Chain A
Amino acid sequence: MTETLLTVSNLKKYFPIRKGVLRRTVGYVKAVDDVNFTVHKGETLGIVGESGCGKSTTGRSILRLIEPTSGDVLFQDKNLTKLSKSSLRHLRQKMQIVFQDPYASLNPRYKVGKILERPMQIHGLYTPAERSKRVRTLLERCGLDPSAANKYPHEFSGGQRQRIGIARALTLNPSLIVLDEPVSALDVSVQSQIINLLEDLQQEFGLTYLFIAHDLSVVRHISDRIAVMYLGQMAELAESLELFDNPLHPYTQALLSAIPVPDPEVKRERILLRGDLPSPANPPSGCPFHTRCKDAMDVCKAKKPVWKEVKPGHHVACHLYS
């Protein structure tokens, strides 16, 4: 039986839209709208979706970098959304984040050594000598020369900076790391190096990853399970192989058909998505995907589909399967 590390239930993040004399709230951008999933210990859960679908907001709301509007996040049997600020700060040691932009995520004014020691200083871990030793070990473990500690972030390339960002996330010995599009800003050749590094580190330190990406092909390789998001809601969640072999949601099918196949002999029908992504401030009624769905039925416009497990471990929100 796999152990559950993180349970997200009914997570919502609404950003208010204000108008008028009194700046009254006239509506909401439902960036994350009633999202449910669990993450098992030691696995990698990929979250995929177009930009603006709320996947990053989901990741950041879980860590409470953005305060969620409602919902519960159970992490190591503690409800993060109910924790006080100080106990949350304490628990942050166990959950870390790696950001998309390796240029913006490191303060240009400090040397790498200082950037990496800072988390340990904040939490009062180790002696100064142990800290600097640990920094060097971690740099080396992440594929950088220990002398990197004496340099400034601007002296490194994007890939190297992302390694520094990963080393920083590791300084506190976390059990969960949210990877917020960690390779999207990198060259393709560097992407696979970073993904390999992440896999090695996962094995070595027993890490659990929540891997956010906008591209299925990136997460396919590293993820045990994959969740697909559309307009702030979960469309489908299944084990990686199952999702690729047997996609149920028409949106997932469309995304999969867009992945190029290296074999020119294989003829595949490309499912083109009609129209544009609707605005999350004014999402379509019923199923949010019905405006672009090839299988849309009348019920899709009227009723929101229920998120349910149609096969063991395979969840989908679609009227085709209810």
Chain B
Amino acid sequence: MNNVALEPSLSPGAGSVTQTKRKFELLKFVKRYPSVVIGGLIVLVMVIIALFAPVIAHYDPLKPMPDGLTQLGAPRPPSHEYILGTDTQGRDVFSRVLFGARVSLEVGFFAGLISLFIGALLGVISGYFGGWVDMVIMRITDMVLAFPFLLFVVALVAALSPSVHNVFIAIGVFGWAQMARIIRSQVLSVKELEYVQAAKSLGASAWNIIFVEVLPNVVTPVIIYLALAIGQNIMLEAALSFLGFGVQPPNPSWGNMIQEGMGYYQLAPWLIYAPGISLLVATIGFNLLGDGLRDWLDPKVGK
């Protein structure tokens, strides 16, 4: 009886204790892994921008504004009305940057997924089954790693005709090799563990073992690598669009905005800086997140 009577009066106190404890632990986490937090915030902001670009943007990114150019026909510098100025056709640069985030994330993410899928499949098969299958897959992987990556992606996009889809397909199709290697080495080490042998002795089939025992132990390095790969892919998409093989004008991408602004660097430097700094911050965000996740989740690898 006593216990029952005591319980209600105890629980609120206990609750607040755990709450302050949680707050304290969060602070400790921020202090210990600042890169996860900062990188994560940058990525989060970018995701929000990409999702809500149409809501945040005041102007149509594709339409030249009636007052978008000066009387001499030059782009307008940043002002209260156009936060990041206007471009050579009188379009709002800020709106274009927002919509550019969309393209960047889309390409970064889907290219990452494609290379994750191919890399995971090949890495698991290679690592788990070993033998000549492993040898063939690893030789192909070495080969892909020796490719002049950008040139291949550019050539493939050019051959497929430039579009957002083809950009992420091309990046994904050539970008899986590193992923396959990471997953293979992880599978190799997990495979030898006795609990995998135990599952085998219990009569589990190879794919059952792969899905139930092996893959859950591969998730951590995959997440870390995916964060880094998305950053890489964003940079690659920008490079492709910059070279004219990515997103085609008038659709905005940070890469093609920089390309368009290249001839006006004296007259209108914001045409380069607005997309350029966005691109830099985005890649910094993903790199920080990936590095931080590595320190946090994978203490063996992190230094």
Contacts and interface: CB of A to CB of B under 8 A. Distances in A.
In-complex A–B contact (CB below 8 Å): yes
A65 interface: yes
B195 interface: yes
A10 B195 CA distance: 29
Interface in B155-193: 193
Residue with the greatest number of chain A CB neighbours at <10 A, chosen from B202, B204, B217:
B202
Contacts, number: 55
A123 B201 contact: no
Residue with the greatest number of chain A CB neighbours at <10 A, chosen from B197, B199, B201, B216:
B201
B193 A104 contact: yes
A96 B195 CA distance: 13
A99 to B, nearest CB: 4
A101 interface: yes
B203 A65 contact: no
A96 B212 contact: no
B63 interface: no
Given A104-B193, A109-B216, A122-B208, A99 B203 contact: no
Contacts of A101: 194
Interface string B207-249: 0100011001100000000000000000000000000000000
Contact of A99 (B198, B205, B208, B217): B198
B200 interface: yes
B213 A119 contact: no
Given A101-B194, A106-B195, A89 B203 contact: yes
B194 A118 contact: no
Interface string A186-226: 00000000000000000000000000000000000000000
A118 B197 contact: no
A93 interface: yes
Interface in B98-139: none
Given A90-B203, A123-B203, A118 B212 contact: yes
A168 B195 CA distance: 11
A234 interface: no
Interface in A59-101: 60, 63, 65, 89-90, 92-93, 95-97, 99-101
Given A107-B213, A109-B216, A109-B217, A122 B194 contact: no
Interface of A: 60, 63, 65, 89-90, 92-93, 95-97, 99-101, 104-107, 109, 118-119, 122-123, 165, 168, 172
Interface of B: 193-195, 197-205, 208, 212-213, 216-217
6 contacts: A97-B201, A99-B198, A107-B195, A109-B217, A119-B203, A168-B202
